[in-house]
Amino acid sequence: MIDVPQIPGYEHAALAKRAARLTNGFLNPYIYDPNHPLAIVGVIVVPLISAFLVYQYFRYRSWFFWAATIGVLMETVGFVGRVASAYNEHKDPPFLVAFLMILLAPSFLAAACYTAFSRVVWFSCPTHALSFKTLWCFPRWITPTFVTVDLISFLIQLIGGSLISKSYDHDSSRDRTIQTSERKLFSGRLILILGLIIQMSCFASFAVIAVRYAVISRKWREADLGDWAMWRRLSWMINGAACLITLRAVYRIVEIPHDKNTGFKYLQAHEWCFWVFDALPILATLVVFAVWHPGRYLPRTYTGFFLDKRRAIEQKDEIYRPQSFGSNGEELRVFRPEDFGKAPVVNPS
């Protein structure tokens, strides 16, 4: 039994609570006591959705969506590590694995949105509108630009998170937590925050471009492929995922202490904040990916690792422009990915 000095008021209650969580002379890595049922729910739901996404990846041969596959596998490993850490609070490896995997996985989910948006643009945008003036980005450089910035932010976060994890692992003090390690190791904390800010800025810029494209593309419904429902659903999927991942990035930035004595301590000290502002947005992103998987809405010529842009333009030019609406306001029939790559599509009279 650990003796607790008689300190009046709140400090005594806080010290008593911390002492109650000491086992074998060491404090668990969380400020709070992790909720076991929630950890179990996470380790069941996330791997199930992840397995379904991996199945869809091979089922639809969506090779360009490789980043999402890596991201969901990292999330799975992270939540497995979290449940292991919740039941073994004083073992470092499960906690550190969960900390790094859950922290870094959204970078790959963001990269998946970038690649999917590039395919949507090349599939749906009229040839005459494939310009920076119209799209606010260079169409040939959508994926390389955003993915490169995302990769840079990932590497910066990896360096910062690794420095913090190393500091925690080598800290033998009795009251260590990942939050105290973040405060003590200024360089690691600063690097981690920088990586998160770069990621959020990149994704926020992307979200503006993607939402704007969804709006301006409505005027092309009578000129090209703009009103075909099979890609428009995919476009809104990307926009929804962008909002969710941006929300999570904002939470991560404000949750990390910004100097040795300040920080949003409430976010750090309450587990529900993690589940609501980190786990739930990412889980919703995985559900959105699963329900509106790009492989269901893009032709097979658009789902490979690389997109032949010249062939994409030629293929669009070969497709006869359908009449947009009949006199009774009925929309065209819904096209499928299988309708492309064969004979030109002719609207039945």
At residue 219, does pLDDT exceed 50? yes
Q: CA-CA-CA-CA torsion for 335, 59, 149, 208, nearest 10 degrees?
A: 30
Q: Which of these ranges, 8-12, 50-54, 215-219, 301-305, has the smallest mean pLDDT?
A: 8-12
Cβ neighbours, 10 Å, residue 112: 28
* 207 contact partners, CB below 8 Å, separation of at least 6: 239, 242, 243, 246
At residue 46, does pLDDT exceed 90? yes
pLDDT value at position 192? 86
Regarding pTM above 0.85, the answer is no
Per-domain boundaries in the chain: 34-304
Q: Where is pLDDT greater, at 39 or 254?
A: 39
Region 268-280 average pLDDT: 90
Summary mean pLDDT of the chain: 76
pLDDT value at position 2? 41
Tens of pLDDT, residues 65-77: 999 999 999 999 9
Tens of pLDDT, residues 228-245: 566 777 888 898 898 899
Q: SS3 for 24-88, per residue? A: CCECCCCCCCCCHHHHHHHHHHHHHHHHHHHHHHHHCCCHHHHHHHHHHHHHHHHHHHHHHHHHC
pLDDT value at position 172? 61
Tens of pLDDT, residues 99-151: 889 989 999 999 999 999 988 888 878 777 778 888 888 888 888 889 899 89
How far apart CA 103 and CA 201 sit, in angstroms, is: 17
Tens of pLDDT, residues 301-341: 888 888 877 777 776 666 544 444 443 443 434 445 555 44
Q: Where is pLDDT greater, at 262 or 290?
A: 290
pLDDT value at position 106? 92
Tens of pLDDT, residues 7-20: 444 444 444 444 44
At residue 287, does pLDDT exceed 90? yes
Q: Where is pLDDT greater, at 207 or 90?
A: 207
DSSP state of 279: I
pLDDT value at position 52? 96
Region 197-207 average pLDDT: 87
Q: What number does CATH give the domain 34-304?
A: 1.20.1070
Specify the DSSP element, H or E, that contains 144.
helix 142-169
Region 154-172 average pLDDT: 78
How far apart CA 337 and CA 291 sit, in angstroms, is: 16
